[in-house]
A = this chain, B = another copy of it.
Amino acid sequence: MTKIADSTVRRLSLYLSYLEGVEREGRDTISSAELAGLGGTTSAQVRKDLSLFGSFGKRGLGYSVEELARHLRDILGLERTYRVAVVGAGKLGSALAQYRAFGDRGFAIVSVYDSDPERIGKRWNGLQIKDTALLDEDLRSSGLDIAILTTPPEVAQAEADRLVRGGVKGIMNFTSVRLEVPEHVAVKNVNMALELQALSYALRHAHGGEI
């Protein structure tokens, strides 16, 4: 399959969340125009995005809400459950480990690691913070799909290396470090300070609207 743009994938995620809302209301079908309205895009964009993966709609009718949601979950790889660990149990790691929206979407936080003896052993919502030293062992015995990395920058690369050696295939990187990883590992960088700076730019230059 031809390479899909990141912007497209993000829109597909949005479509899915709108579909789930509509599904809860008991609606059966939805048009590309309505989906576009909810997502702040155009009907042509919606149809084009979906057509990259197949033809899921019925001309004259629209899309079956339930069927399209299923297709999108399949496309996005959300039919399965992912085993996720949080590495770095600071404020942000703590918040993310307990973030409901992750579990709801099939991302199960199975453990939290930190190297600070002050933190090790503490419990949050039934998750006990483990010593990072146990990470290699745990990766070997139980495996992990995704890691959420929220360590201090100094140790970020070392922890990433360890995770990759242990077979992790995706890293959501909240540190300010640009991680070096092998080709087959996906890294999603999330940089809150950068987001605020983009907002700052918009204020300074008097653009309103969504960024």
Query: Residues of A with Cβ closer than 8 Å to B?
Result: 1, 3-4, 6, 9-10, 12-14, 16-17, 38-40, 75-78, 82, 90-92, 94-96, 98-99, 101-102, 104-105, 107, 145-146, 169-170, 172, 176, 178, 181-211
Name which of A104, A145, A186, A191 has the most chain B CB atoms within 10 A of its CB: A186
Query: Contact: A207 with B186, CB < 8 Å?
Result: yes
Q: A6-B211, A95-B95 are in contact. Are A198 and B188 (CB under 8 A)?
A: yes
Measured CA separation A14–B90 after assembly (Å): 24
- A178 to nearest B CB, angstroms? 6
Tell me whether A201 and B76 are in contact (CB under 8 A): yes
Q: Please indicate the chain B residues that have their CB under 8 angstroms from the CB of A182 in the complex.
A: 208
Bound: A178/B40 CA distance, A = 9
